[in-house]
Amino acid sequence: MKYVDEFRDAELGRVLAAEIVASVEPGRHYKVMEVCGGHTHTIYKYGVDDLLPENVELVHGPGCPVCVIPMGRVDDGIAIAKREEVILTCFGDMMRVPGGSGTFLEAKAEGADIRMVYSPLDALRIAKENPEREVVFFAVGFETTAPSTALTLKRAKQDEVGNFSVVSNHVTIVPPLRALLESPDLRLDGFIGPGHVSTVVGARPFEFIPADYGRPIVVSGFEPLDLLQSVHMVLRQLAEGRCEVENQYKRVVPYDGNPAALAVLAEVFELRPHFEWRGLGFISSSGLKLGPDYADFDAELRFGVPGVRVADPKACQCGEVLKGVIKPWECKVFGTACTPERPIGTCMVSSEGACAAYYNYGRFAREREVV
């Protein structure tokens, strides 16, 4: 596949891996967090960590859009979906995320009309095709997916689609990173910055990480060579005593982001005073809700959701996993009570969740001989 295979070249990977080995101080242990769940997925899927020296540890961060959805929000979605007149639409990853009273997949089996879509525009099309029904899009994601929700809302308003509305669970990337950096148990040497989010917001918003917290960050692409190169760039900053925002993903990410996408976000959404994150609790100014011009399309207002906060299951340590404080396998229920078949925590659901990635791809004692 042109323009993809080039970034999966094993030979170049070995060259980069050798350079990484050469750039680390032998006695030092390096902890680098990849913020984005997409990176976590790539690392495990291609075995990128197999190519790193033992003293370079990749720590998985909070940037998985499905993982950060608190249980109460899933329950709100189910409450809306169970209304006779409603067709609830969502991305496939959401179907198995557990709320306090089950998952969308289970609610669907109980009779709720829940449909998987691949774009919010598909949800709008369903609304136009079913004028007698209320069609609700359960929106999740960081600034990566929020512009497509915003554009869909603009279209809905323009076309006067009165039976369409959105439950916005959109979140922003900077507040959880700041919360993470404020955390006293943080021991990270640097960050691999989220590439997809940065296509929208740019690399500039991450300047506070080196400026305020003294950690280097390299915005990275999603192919295995991108990740190896980004790890190398972080390590080189550390070796050279530099601390700055670097952009490895220049082929896609402009330093100042995508102004058109940012404009549509500003037009459609406004910041919530605070928003609950799974495992991380409430974070100020971290969630997006529909602004006053689009309040008519706000499903939370239209249907009056229960909005009950459901505490995470006691055994679940998703918060510690999302903060990189523990590795997935260190969670008490990992792989035993919490599995991809019967997830307790969200990190075990999405393919971008650290627990699911580790369970599905990394669950293998590497020293153990294959014979």
Q: How far is the CB of 215 from another protein (least distance, A)?
A: 25
Nearer to another protein, 230 or 351 (CB): 351
Burial annotation 151-185 (CB, 10 A radius, 16+ → b, else e): bbbeebeeeebebbbbbbbbbbbbbbbbbbbeeee
> What's the DSSP call for residue 57?
E
Nearer to another protein, 228 or 238 (CB): 228
Q: How far is the CB of 336 from another protein (least distance, A)?
A: 5
Nearer to another protein, 163 or 350 (CB): 350
Nearer to another protein, 81 or 238 (CB): 81
Give contact residues for another protein (rule: CB under 8 A): 1, 4, 8, 10, 13-14, 38, 41, 44-51, 65-66, 91-93, 95-96, 105-106, 108-110, 116, 118, 122, 140-141, 144-145, 196, 224, 327, 329-330, 334-336, 339-341, 350-352, 359-371
Cα separation, 353 vs 66, whole angstroms:
8
β-pairing, 217-219 with 245-247? parallel
Nearer to another protein, 95 or 181 (CB): 95
Nearer to another protein, 3 or 158 (CB): 3
Cα separation, 34 vs 360, whole angstroms:
18
Joined together, the tokens standing for residue 152 give 């869909």
Q: Is 283 helix (H, G, I), strand (E, B) or coil?
A: strand
Q: How far is the CB of 107 from another protein (least distance, A)?
A: 10
Residues 6+ apart with CB under 8 A from 317: 279, 326, 330, 331, 332, 333, 345
Q: How far is the CB of 340 from another protein (least distance, A)?
A: 5
Nearer to another protein, 7 or 206 (CB): 7
Q: How far is the CB of 339 from another protein (least distance, A)?
A: 8
Cα separation, 320 vs 331, whole angstroms:
8
β-pairing, 281-284 with 274-277? antiparallel
Cα separation, 340 vs 15, whole angstroms:
35
Cα separation, 168 vs 54, whole angstroms:
41
